[in-house]
């Protein structure tokens, strides 16, 4: 284009044209130099560990403060903390160019399979075995989630479980015992019925939960059902999704029934919306991560008392429990040895009881080091939020097996979106629970197969 153009430019004008181009070029390059300074460690100075994370809001503040504390107390290692957007954003960025990645990377729970299959990880187990690092104080249920085979690939960091939050004051007002939260689907339904009240022209609903694929996974696990075949993809790579099993159908049938009967309301996909409704006493019970207790408490302050109970189970009694959610820390394989060793030291520091306690107190994530509960900071925290103990109890009461370990598939992000679509279809009366889940199972199975093929997983 420019060639064509310039041919027709008169000779007299040509210098001016060049000047214009030059100005443009200067604009471009003139401002580009200030950057490119930090990432490369100098030979003599401390090792810089680049740490990508996806924490926002309150957890981000806590993490920043902790990193400052680390940097202040270590002269040989400095952490460079970089926020990389949501878990998905960060994950996709790493996928786009693994060689530009960080030394230490926070990945969400369901990214585990991909990290291993893509060969990006320096297995945590190698560091643990070499240093004979004592893993016994770390909560086994948390560790088991991140184990593949008998090998730990990443170190748990921010861990949470779903719990039932309920409004004790509304329980009292409805004549229910505020000390006794519902523990089964049937009890949730009965309590929700008692709690649903019309006040003027607005309705206070007994229950609401966000349309969030994670909750579905958790109910499945609570009911002792596998999400994928081959032991949730842990005995061998999963080849088939089992979401349309009777347990899955029961969950969606119950979900829909509560809404149809008018005891629950559908507030869409965002958990922030159900949280706001709960804080504003528009709903009396909700399901959410154990990590949001401090936030809910702020919203409820001076208005009502919050109760926490384990995740309700389906109508068949079975000894099972929910899966760990959240994120873990990965050391990347393609980084220099010095960086990896420094990252390992950082991880060990984060696992110390004092740090784990600070993390729990600042964010509401589960204390993954058992010794953290003896820390003063944690003791004050549990005094302030006594109901948090229910989340810890749930963590300890969950048996260890393939179901509660959680599914290990490489296409979890898509699977979750598929399930969310299915729930929506059911809630909006566009499909029966069975039909929606059959369809979802087929879609997830297809994408698992495609993934296994492209990644060469056998």
User: Footprint of another protein on this chain (CB under 8 A)?
Assistant: 1, 4-5, 8-10, 12-13, 16-17, 20, 23-24, 27-29, 31-39, 50, 55-61, 80, 82-87, 89, 93, 96-97, 100, 160, 202, 271-272, 275-277, 279-282, 288-289, 291-292, 295-296, 298-303
Q: Given the complex with another protein, which of 204 and 457 has the nearer CB atom?
A: 204
Helix boundaries (H) for 281-375: 293-300, 337-351, 353-363
3-state secondary structure of 313: strand
d(CA 286, CA 163): 8
Closest contact distance (angstroms) between CB of 52 and another protein is 9
Closest contact distance (angstroms) between CB of 382 and another protein is 19
Scan for tokens 């085979």, then name that residue: 149
SS3 per residue for 43-86: CCCCEEEEEEECCCHHHHHHHHHHHHHHHHHCCCEEEEEEECCC
Closest contact distance (angstroms) between CB of 106 and another protein is 13
Q: Given the complex with another protein, which of 185 and 215 has the nearer CB atom?
A: 215
Long-range interactions of 174-183: CB distance < 8 A, separation 24+: 174/284, 178/305, 178/307, 181/307, 181/309, 182/285, 182/309, 182/312, 183/309, 183/310, 183/312, 183/313
Closest contact distance (angstroms) between CB of 214 and another protein is 10
d(CA 426, CA 13): 69
Q: Given the complex with another protein, which of 233 and 325 has the nearer CB atom?
A: 325
Residues 296 and 278 sit within 8 Å (Cβ to Cβ): yes
Closest contact distance (angstroms) between CB of 247 and another protein is 26
Q: Given the complex with another protein, which of 45 and 399 has the nearer CB atom?
A: 45
Closest contact distance (angstroms) between CB of 176 and another protein is 22
Closest contact distance (angstroms) between CB of 70 and another protein is 17
Q: Given the complex with another protein, which of 290 and 425 has the nearer CB atom?
A: 290
Residues 204 and 284 sit within 8 Å (Cβ to Cβ): yes
d(CA 102, CA 120): 11
Q: Which residues in 176-201 are b (16+ Cβ under 10 Å) and which e?
A: bebeebbeebeebbebbbbbbeeeee
Q: Given the complex with another protein, which of 169 and 240 has the nearer CB atom?
A: 169
Q: Given the complex with another protein, which of 22 and 236 has the nearer CB atom?
A: 22
Q: Given the complex with another protein, which of 67 and 181 has the nearer CB atom?
A: 67
Q: Which two tokens stand for residue 281?
A: 């006493």
d(CA 417, CA 139): 30
Q: Given the complex with another protein, which of 50 and 320 has the nearer CB atom?
A: 50
d(CA 424, CA 179): 33
Closest contact distance (angstroms) between CB of 277 and another protein is 7
d(CA 458, CA 454): 11
Closest contact distance (angstroms) between CB of 125 and another protein is 29
């Amino acid at each position: 284009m420019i060639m064509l153009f310039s041919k027709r430019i008169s000779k007299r004008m040509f210098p001016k044209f060049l000047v214009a181009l030059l100005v443009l070029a200067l604009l471009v390059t003139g401002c580009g130099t200030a950057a490119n300074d930090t990432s490369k460690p100098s030979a003599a100075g401390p090792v810089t560990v680049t740490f990508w994370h996806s924490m926002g809001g309150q957890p981000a503040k806590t993490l920043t403060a902790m990193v400052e504390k680390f940097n202040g107390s270590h002269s040989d290692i400095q952490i460079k903390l970089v926020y990389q957007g949501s878990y998905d954003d960060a994950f996709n960025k790493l996928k786009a160019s693994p060689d530009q990645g960080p030394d230490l990377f926070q990945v969400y729970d369901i990214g585990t399979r991909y990290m291993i299959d893509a060969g990006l990880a320096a297995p945590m187990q190698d560091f643990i075995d070499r240093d004979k690092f004592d893993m016994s104080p770390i909560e086994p249920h948390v560790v088991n989630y991140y184990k593949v085979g008998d090998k730990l690939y990443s170190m748990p960091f921010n861990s949470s479980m779903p719990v039932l939050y309920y409004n004790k004051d509304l329980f009292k007002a409805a004549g229910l015992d505020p000390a006794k939260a519902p523990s089964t689907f049937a009890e949730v339904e009965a309590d929700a019925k008692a709690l649903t009240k019309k006040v003027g022209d607005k309705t206070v609903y007994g229950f609401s939960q966000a349309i969030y694929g994670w909750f579905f996974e958790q109910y499945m696990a609570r009911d002792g059902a596998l999400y994928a075949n081959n032991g949730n993809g842990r005995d061998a790579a999963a080849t088939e999704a089992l979401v349309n099993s009777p347990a899955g159908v029961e969950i969606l049938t119950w979900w829909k029934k509560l809404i149809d009967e008018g005891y629950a309301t559908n507030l869409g996909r965002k958990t922030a919306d159900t949280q706001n409704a709960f804080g504003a006493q528009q709903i009396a019970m909700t399901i959410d991560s154990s990590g949001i207790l401090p936030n809910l408490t702020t919203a409820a302050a001076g208005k009502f008392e919050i109760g926490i109970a384990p995740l309700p189970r389906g109508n068949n009694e079975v000894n099972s429990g929910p899966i760990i959610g959240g994120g873990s820390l990965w050391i990347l394989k393609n980084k220099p040895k010095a960086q990896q060793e420094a990252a390992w030291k950082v991880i060990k520091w984060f696992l110390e009881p004092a740090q784990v306690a600070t993390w729990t107190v600042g964010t509401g994530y589960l204390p993954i080091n058992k010794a953290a509960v003896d820390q003063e900071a944690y003791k004050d925290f549990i005094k302030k939020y006594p109901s948090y103990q229910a989340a810890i109890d749930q963590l300890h009461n969950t048996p260890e097996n393939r179901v509660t370990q959680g599914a290990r598939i490489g296409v979890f992000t898509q699977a979750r979106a598929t399930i969310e679509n299915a729930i929506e279809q059911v809630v909006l009366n566009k499909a029966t629970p069975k039909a929606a889940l059959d369809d979802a199972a087929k879609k997830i199975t297809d994408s698992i197969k495609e993934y296994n093929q492209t990644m060469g997983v056998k």
